[in-house]
Amino acid sequence: MRYIKMTTANTYKFLENLKDEATLYAPTKISEQFYDFTEIDDVDDVEFHYNRTIRPPRRFFYPEEETMFRFDTDKVELYENTPREGRFVIFGVHACDVVGLRILDAEFIDEQPDPYYKMRRDNGIIIGLSCLPDEYCFCNVRRTEFVDKGFDLFFHEVADGYLVRVGTVQGHKLLDPYPELVGEVTQEDIDYMEDFEEKRSSMYTLQGNWDSLRYFLEMRLDHPMYERESEKCLGCGNCTLTCPTCRCYDVKDVPSIDGKTGERIRFWDSCQFRSHGLVAGPHNFRPTKESRFKNRYQCKNAYCEEVTTAYCVGCGRCTYFCPAEINFKRNLMEIGGYQGVGD
């Protein structure tokens, strides 16, 4: 991997240049409490130190709602509505979210690729950014706190700028036109990064790894946690909508007023909704709140073979944004029998 140095001033220049080439999205402060990836007009708005965005980056590749087809009901023909967006850059993606996208790749770009997701993924450039954890983060026990794949460039904070890892050919191409913005990595930079990583590591509230958690989850399917915690659940789906790896969707046809044409639309669904497992009849394969709650805990802790991590990347969003204050990390610790419960 190639390592370069970019000073803070040059980083702003680089972002300014990127903005001219492609649509640039980066984290900005959208309210007193929240951050979100937004389209950048003024690069001074970019937040380099943020904990988590309210919406994960997956929406740039797999939007909340999209028209898959337009159709003609008389001819019974579907007209593909593949994305027309041009090239775009998402700057400032934390390591956990980079892994989140790789997990979605494994699901959407398999032997039967989803054309909508894939086309956007081909057009999207990912630039990672280092971060420090807060009490909601547990990416380290998920082994997603550091990434080697899934980004074009990754910016690591150093004293006077960024040590940049170049992850792909696309990453090299981004830097090629601006040799004046790129410098050599110095010993000080490497030392800074080492200190940063050490500090970062010590800031996590949990240590070790949760690789065996999935077995405990499976062996403790009747754990009292599920009943207790699902009682609190409002079934709002916030945990799944803010999750960087949740990918369930529903499809509906929206006909025109005369019924002759229409659109086939897909939109994010949530396994926490009662309708998720409901079929005609009406039979529901997950009829209770507890069964739906349990399903999420199993699904998020299942093993993604392609990425070799759990589907949960430890970003902390589902807990941070839960209106019922259900603490996913803590509940998992209880099931796994890990230290710290009751602190």
Partner 1 sequence: MTSEQENVYDTSKCRLLRTYDLSEVDKLFLFRFEDPEKAQNFRFKPGQFVEVSLLGLGEVPISICSSARRVGFFELCIRNAGRVTSAIHHLNPGTLVGIRGPYGNGFPMEKFHDRDLLLVAAGLGMAPLRSVFLYALDNRWLFGDITIINSAKYANGLLFQKELEAMKDIATAENISIVQTVTRDPDFDGLHGRVNTHFDKVNVDPENCTVAMCGPPPMYKGMFEECIERGYDPRYIFVTLERKMKCGVGKCGHCNVGTATSWKYICKDGPVFGYYDVLDIPGLI
Looking at 16, 66, 107, 197, which residue binds partner 1 (CB under 8 A)?
107
Q: Which amino acid is at 340?
A: G
The helix (H) or strand (E) run that includes residue 232 is helix 224-232
Q: For residues 224 and 293, give the distance between their C-alpha atoms in angstroms, rounded to a whole number.
A: 12
Footprint of partner 1 on 56-95 (CB under 8 A): 68-69, 71-73, 75-78, 80, 82
The interface region with partner 1, picked from 16-24, 34-42, 177-185, 247-255 by CB under 8 A, is 247-255
Beta pairing partners, 164: 4, 155
Looking at 22, 30, 54, 278, which residue binds partner 1 (CB under 8 A)?
278
- Smallest distance, Å, CB 46 to partner 1? 33
Nearer to partner 1, 170 or 295 (CB): 295
- Smallest distance, Å, CB 30 to partner 1? 28
Number of residues counted as binding partner 1 (CB under 8 A): 54
Looking at 29, 173, 232, 252, which residue binds partner 1 (CB under 8 A)?
252
- Smallest distance, Å, CB 298 to partner 1? 5
Query: What secondary structure letter does DSSP report for 185?
Result: P
Nearer to partner 1, 87 or 199 (CB): 87
214 binds partner 1 (CB under 8 A): yes
Footprint of partner 1 on 113-172 (CB under 8 A): 113-115, 119
Q: Give the largest Cα separation in the chain, rounded.
A: 70
Nearer to partner 1, 215 or 234 (CB): 215
215 binds partner 1 (CB under 8 A): yes
| List of long-range contacts for 283-292, beta carbons under 8 Å, 24+ apart | 289/230, 289/231, 289/233, 289/235, 290/226, 290/227, 290/230, 292/230, 292/235
108 binds partner 1 (CB under 8 A): yes
Looking at 179, 224, 281, 342, which residue binds partner 1 (CB under 8 A)?
281
277 binds partner 1 (CB under 8 A): yes
Our measurement of the distance from residue 187's CA atom to the centroid of its chain's CA atoms, rounded to an integer in Å, reads: 33
Query: What secondary structure letter does DSSP report for 186?
Result: P
Share in percent of the chain as helix, strand, coil (round to 5): 35, 25, 40
287 binds partner 1 (CB under 8 A): no
Nearer to partner 1, 185 or 299 (CB): 299
| List of long-range contacts for 59-65, beta carbons under 8 Å, 24+ apart | 60/25, 60/88, 60/90, 60/120, 60/124, 61/101, 61/104, 61/108, 61/117, 61/120, 61/121, 61/124, 62/104, 62/108, 62/116, 62/117, 62/120, 62/247, 64/267, 64/268, 65/265, 65/266, 65/267, 65/268
- Smallest distance, Å, CB 341 to partner 1? 19
Q: Which residue has the tokens 């009901």?
A: 73
Residue 282 φ then ψ, to 5°: -95, 120
192 binds partner 1 (CB under 8 A): no
267 binds partner 1 (CB under 8 A): no
Report which of 126, 128, 58 is spatially closest to residue 92, judged by C-alpha positions: 128
Nearer to partner 1, 95 or 332 (CB): 332
Residues in touch with partner 1 (CB under 8 A) = 68-69, 71-73, 75-78, 80, 82, 107-108, 110, 112-115, 119, 213-215, 217-218, 221, 247-253, 255, 259, 262, 264, 266, 269, 271, 276-281, 285, 295, 297-299, 301-303, 310
